[in-house]
Chains A and B, each alone.
Chain A
Amino acid sequence: DAKTTQPNSMESNEEEPVHLPCNHSTISGTDYIHWYRQLPSQGPEYVIHGLTSNVNNRMASLAIAEDRKSSTLILHRATLRDAAVYYCILRDDNAGNMLTFGGGTRLMVKP
């Protein structure tokens, strides 16, 4: 299975943009890049996903490198409610619907 690598933790100031990186150098052509976040004592929630092109939604933006070996989740204005663990995962339904999580990045937001 293709793996992802993320920093263990990051800090941000409230109201500032946050760029959360993810490396996936062994990504295959059919892997979608998904991001989820998990608040304490809750199940993960979907944030955004993409294949090749950059994506925007109401929660965040996803910037995907041209070679697809890395991606960056962008929170345009961090709030205290964005403090969570962010997971970058690869999904390939051709690989038996595996949904494999790594360690994620713990984002701390300072007021």
Chain B
Amino acid sequence: DGGITQSPKYLFRKEGQNVTLSCEQNLNHDAMYWYRQDPGQGLRLIYYSQIVNDFQKGDIAEGYSVSREKKESFPLTVTSAQKNPTAFYLCASIPTGKMNTEAFFGQGTRLTVV
């Protein structure tokens, strides 16, 4: 089945460590997004990518990095520079040039700093 998969579902990180969250889609979508969600809050955009080998910063990119080497994959690295990384992270994808289509979301990764 086509879809978007995030892994792992839960992730624990020690302070000062970098961690990478995986996002894979087999929908042949061009655009992919990473969001952060804090408890009781809405989604805030971290990074997005419209095509392979290109990405742009969202509203809260500091302390995060991404890559887009393949169309199917858009991993997010939470670096030690991110001072408050504990949050729920969501990945999404959409086909470009088609405003009347839906966005697909993964089931999220819950990151906890211990």
Contacts and interface: CB of A to CB of B under 8 A. Distances in A.
Given A44-B90, A103-B41, A103-B42, A49 B100 contact: yes
Interface stretch (A13-21, A28-36, A64-72, A75-83): A28-36
Interface residues of B, number: 29
B3 to A, nearest CB: 11
B28 interface: no
B43 A44 contact: yes
- The B interface, classified by DSSP as helix, strand, loop or mixed, is strand
A99 B42 contact: no
B98 interface: yes
Interface of B: 6, 31, 33, 35, 41-45, 48, 50, 56, 88, 90, 92, 94, 96-100, 102-108, 110
Interface of A: 30, 32, 34, 36, 41-46, 49, 51, 85, 87, 91-93, 96-104
